[in-house]
Amino acid sequence: MRISVSAWDPGYADSGERLSDARGLTGPELDVEVPSVDWMPLRPDASAPPPRVLLVDGVRRLDARVDIDVPGQPPVPGLCASYAAGVVVCDLASHSPNASMVTSRVERGLFSSVADAELSAGPVAAYQARRVTGAEPGDLVNAVQERLTSLEVAVAAEAEPADADLLVLDGALRRREHLRRAVGFIKSHQRRYLTDEPAKVVDRLKPGERTPVFLLKTSWQRYTWYIRLPGGGDGSWAGVARLEAAAELPVDTVIGLADASALMLPRLASSAHKDPRAPQNLTPIAGLERMLRAKLGDPRLLLRNLRTSRPVG
């Protein structure tokens, strides 16, 4: 087996909403928390806010494209990728919440349809074989994202304390619904699920307020709601984020999660002078992303070592 390496533009996972998550939309079920005719901005009771929140995120980098020559077969495309996931915890009982790393993991994989294609990047890293059914570039990138999602689930399950009040996962909740007290945090809005009067409720939200909980019925079901973060401006969607909770949860539990998110997350919103993605890119998540990217290593060094490496085995 021979593996030849060429450059591939690096890229990171987007924590926005996938268009595929909106397939099969039959219309939201609005009468979950309150009747749709009674929809209005809701502000949770702030007398006893939960003290801690766990935030989970992951990053990926596409390090190199490879061609794998297997005797007697046409060349097989592959993708070398590095990816990492981690968890930070914020103590919201203090006046100025501090975030600290709880756990993190880094993995590297060579994604291809060849089961035993592994590659070493010298003493700095090794890319384990990750078999993929398809061979198109999109199949390989999707496989990297799926592996990153699995890694996020692993670190979240490893780090979740028994007394955690809220577990925030950057991006959609899909495939992570089983995690206790978990909500998905969607920063961008490729599709708006509300129209007419309910959509106007989003426009009227003030920082720290949320919409009532409603049920989305697409290719997968989940409860969802919108909150407004400070710094995005009133009367627009610039400071609005959408959150998701598992459809299997009791409605009262989901309402509790929605209240907790509206109480806690505005305190973690980023500032425009520090982050161009403010306010939706929460400050602890931005810090976690920086730490995880540093753990991925120098892409130039990895690529140089990959070009002179040989297959493992």
pLDDT 10s digits, 195-210: 999 999 999 999 999 9
Mean pLDDT by 10 residues, the chain (313 residues): 66 46 72 96 85 91 91 88 96 72 95 88 86 86 95 90 80 91 89 91 94 93 95 73 97 95 88 55 89 94 85 61
Is residue 271 domain-resident? yes
| Nearest alpha-carbon partner for 223 in 256, 191, 198 | 256
Whole-number Å distance between alpha carbons of 125 and 82: 10
Is residue 44 domain-resident? yes
CB 22 within 8 A of CB 44: no
Is residue 130 domain-resident? yes
Is residue 312 domain-resident? no
Give pLDDT tens digits for 261-272: 999 999 888 665
> What is the pLDDT at residue 10?
38
Confidence (pTM): 0.85
Is residue 313 domain-resident? no
| Nearest alpha-carbon partner for 198 in 178, 183, 216 | 216
Q: What is the DSSP string of 103-147?
A: EEEEEEEEEES-TT--EE-GGG-EEEEEE-S--SHHHHHHHHHHH
Domain of residue 33: give its range. Answer: 2-307
Number of domains within the chain: 1
> What is the pLDDT at residue 21?
56
> What is the pLDDT at residue 13?
37
Is residue 16 domain-resident? yes
Is residue 47 domain-resident? yes
> What is the pLDDT at residue 128?
93
Is residue 146 domain-resident? yes
